[in-house]
Every structure is written in structure tokens, then in C-alpha cells.
Structure 1
Amino acid sequence: MSAAPRILIWNEFWHERNNPVVGRIYPDGIHTALADALGTHGFEDIRTATLDQPEHGLTEEALESTDVLLWWGHKKHGEVSDAVAERVQARVLAGMGLVVLHSGHFSKPFKRLTGTACTVNWREDGERERIWVIAPEHPIAAGLDRYFELEKEEMYGEPFEVPAPDELVFLSWFKGGEVFRSGCCYTRGRGRIFYFRPGHETFPTYHDATVQKVIANGIRWAAPTLQIRERPANVNRRPIEAID
């Protein structure tokens, strides 16, 4: 596959237009802030899509030209059509990478792909989050120190009702005492999935250079290593040797 994956950033783009605090932090939307940041990490083919576009901007054609899909959602998970969620799921099973950010843990595609409730404990007090790198040899941790900190973030705490990650890269600690598996890697079918916890909309998390680096590393890791294929299908095969 190409060393320069084709990226599609999906965002509800509701909070920025309905909450003045979020609008000041991300005046052009979280998707635009992420696109601008990723452009400084050597990516060139970056597109964005939002909830209110036809088919939420996730048409068959859009997904067919995507190697890695980033997903940010929060209040509007239920407004994503089941048909589009199924389309994303099928594309991941066929080999497209998926990077799920923050409250995207409760999105329809992620819940479909994990098969679990994906619930968390949470608290929006703007407390310090210390993110420990517990798999420093993993490609997503490339260029990072032992840990990094965000001065203000929403707390997510265990239990996190997801399948045990194939690989766990980050573990978060919050000043209030909780911990959380904040960098989870999965493989589903041919597709790779990276869930990265930080990114509550009322804090400037996606302006943080280390967070941007992690997302860029996650995209490179999730990018397809095999040719993305059509929807997997059962095939009746004739034997290659005579069967007695």
C-alpha cells in the first residue's frame, strides 16, 4: 500500500456551532483543526466530512477512496444512520483503517466492530490527565517520552466495556484518582482500529502537539498493509484434487 494514506476525518460539527466555548476553541470545527495539524505531519490527501452532509459525507465513493477514517462524535451518535454505520463497518472488515477519538467510543461503527456496550465512567471537571506510554516499542508511541500530560481534560474511568485490546499502548491516570485504557488497538477482519481517548470538545486538546503526533502515528499504523478488498463473501470452491 502507499506510504501516504488517504485520510477522511469525520466530525459531527454540532458542538462548534451550538456551544460558544467549543466555537472559540475550534472556530472552523474539530475536523478542520485535525486536518490542519495532520498536514504538518507529511500527509497530503486529507478530506473531511460532517454529520449534516448527504449520507453524512460517508458515501460508497467517499469510503472507497479512503485508507484511514478518523471519527469524532459525541452528542449525535443516534443520528448516524444504521446504513452508513454498516457501510463503515464493512469497509473496516475489508481493510480500511479506523482511528476513533474520544467519545467516538460510543459511535455506532465502533460498537458494531467491538460487539460490546462501550460504556465508561466519566466526569467533566477539567482535571489533569497523565497519559503513560506502556508499550514504548509500539509504532503509535514513536517519538514519545515515558508519559505526557494534559492540564485539563474530561475524565474517563474504568471499567471500559470493550473487548480486551489486542495491544494497549497508553494508560491514563487522572488527578481525581481514576485510570483508563486510553490507547487501544484492535484488528477486525483486514482492518486495524486505534481508539485514542483524549479530545473533549470544551478543552483545546487537539491543539496539543503530542496529541497530534499520536494521531499521526495512529494513522500510519492503521493504514492498510493489504489491498482493501470488496465486501468479504462466502465462496463455494471446487477441490483442487480428486476427493475419494
Structure 2
Amino acid sequence: MSGLRVTVWNEGVHEAENDPPVMAEIYPEGIHGALAEGIRSELPTAAVRTALLADPEHGLTEEVLADTDVLLWWGHLAHGEVDAAVVDRVQRHVLGGMGLLVLHSGHFSQIFQRLLGTTCSLGWRDGAEQELVWTVAPHHPIAQGVPNPLVIPEQETYSEFFDIPAPDELIFLSSFDGGEVFRSGVTFFRGHGRIFYFSPGDQRYPVYHQPEIREIIANGIRWTAQPDRPRTPPEVAKLDRHWR
């Protein structure tokens, strides 16, 4: 699949506040910059743009979304600062067929909570522990080329219970040093759109530089993208004839 149009959205608060200080060393171009770099290396024909919370309309204007096949969303500290009108706009485009990749703490984003209809709460602990990402759907396109298990040397621990609806597809299940498990890679279908949530990728750890993580994100972009689908959400349609 070539010529995909990808927008990487990041709230950019950790970068603006240099919090934590080590983040400037790990992600000198910001998390959005690292994600964009990874996408360009894995999908060299893709057109990749970045957008930030501080941009006008958070960088997610009608024109930008209409020109986006897949939107990546990374947020953590400023979920409540996202304007409701922008959330409405993103939701409409997802229901119309735009792909959505929600990453790490984006599980608490307004758009993810709205599309799933739950709190999206979970358990967590930040102890720089090893995460093993186990593939439970080896034939799914998102899992292609991914080692099983995928080893992340240091990562924030996420744990069940993860308050999401039963996923349409469970792709990855993670385990951590303390014995916790977490549904770390799940998909949902909403309207005409496809959603992939993938949890690894905290601001304190260089997870988005890891080649296997970049491959998963690229696979997720390919899977969620529907560039040829007209961007029209489902609607009530009157039937003009009887079918027998």
C-alpha cells in the first residue's frame, strides 16, 4: 500500500515542559518527531505530517482530516484541553472511514473514550520494568513480522482491569516483571472506521525508537487505512424498492 497520508498528533506538553528531563535526550524531536521518523522509515512512500495541541484547532482542521488516511494520537497530561469541536470532527472522520491509532496514555483521550463508551481506566506502575508483548493473533496483518514475544527492556507497567468493551480483535497481550498482564494491542470497528490501540510507548523510555515497535505501528497504519473509501459516516437511508 503506497501513498498513504498519515497525521501524527501529540499534545506536546512533556516536550514543552521538559518533563522528565531525560525525555529531551530520548526524544529530541519530540514523541511526534520520533513517530514520524519511524513511519517514514517503514513506509517511505507515505506523506507524514505532525500536529500539536498548541496548533490552531490543535492542527486537526477539517482540511487536514480530509487529507488524512490514518491519524495517530498520543496524549497524557492534557486530555481535557482538547476542544470538544475537534473531538466531534475527529469522530465524524473515523466513523466515515479514517483510520485511528491510539497510543499509550491516549487510552484516556476524549476521542477514544467517546468511540468506546467506557472509562478506559486501567492499573499502572512506573518501575522501568521489562515488558513482553505476546502475539495472540499470529495471522493478523498487524502482527506480521513481529517476534513472539517482543521484548521491551524498560517500560511503564500497565495492568488489567482495562475498562474497554470486548475488543473486536485481540492482537497482543503483554506481561510484566510483577506478573501483571494487559491487553496491549486491540482493534475496534466503529462506523466505517478501523481503530488500533497499542499501549507501549511512555515518555520516559525510548520505545518508539525500537525497530519492532516501528514495524507494529506501520502494520497498524496499513491495516486501519482505507484510502479509497468515501468519507461518509453511516446514516439512515430510505429504500426505494422492495427486495424479494
Q: TM-score range by the shorter chain?
A: over 0.9
Q: Does the Cα contact within 8 Å between 1:96 and 1:228 map onto a contact in 2?
A: no
Partners of 1:4 and 1:29 in 2: how far apart? 24
Which of 155, 158, 167 is matched with 1:156 structurally? Answer: 158
Tell me the equivalent position of 1:204.
Answer: 206
Query: Aligned to 2:58, which of 52, 56, 59?
Result: 56
- 5+ residue gaps, structure 2, are none
Equivalent position SS for 1:70? strand
Q: Does 1:4 align with 2:3?
A: yes
Letter in 2 for 1:25: I
Q: What is the alpha-carbon distance in structure 2 between the residues aligned to residue 163 and residue 231 of structure 1?
A: 21
The 2-side partners of 1:101 and 1:139 are apart by: 18
Distance in 2 (alpha carbons) for counterparts of 1:178 and 1:228:
42
Q: Distance in 1 between matches of 2:87 and 2:215?
A: 27
Aligned residue identity for 1:57? G
Aligned residue among 210, 217, 220 for 1:218: 220
Task: State the distance in 2 between where 1:94 and 1:27 align.
Answer: 35
Deviation of 1:225 (Å): 6.3
Q: Which sits farther off after the overlay, 21-30 or 59-68?
A: 21-30
2:15 corresponds to which letter in structure 1? Answer: E
Out of 119, 122, 127, the position equivalent to 1:120 is 122
Code of the residue aligned with 2:221 in structure 1: it is I
Distance 1:138 1:119 in 2: 26
Distance 2:43 2:166 in 1: 32
Deviation at 1:3, TM superposition (A): 3.6
Distance in 2, matches of 1:97 and 1:103, equals: 18
Q: Which letter maps to 2:43? A: G
Where structure 1 has 5 or more consecutive residues not aligned to the other structure, the ranges are: none
Contact 2:131/2:177, CA 8 A, preserved across alignment: yes
Partners of 2:78 and 2:147 lie apart in 1 by: 35
| Number of residue pairs aligned between Structure 1 and Structure 2 | 240
Counterpart-to-counterpart distance in 1, 2:242 and 2:124:
59
* Alpha-carbon distance between aligned partners in 2 of 1:3 and 1:206, rounded to the nearest angstrom: 22
**Structure 2 counterpart of 1:13:** 12
CA-atom RMSD, angstroms?
A: 1.5
Q: How far 1:41 moved relative to its partner?
A: 1.1
Contact 1:17 1:23 (8 Å CA) reproduced: no
Residue 25 of structure 1: how far off its partner (Å) = 1.1
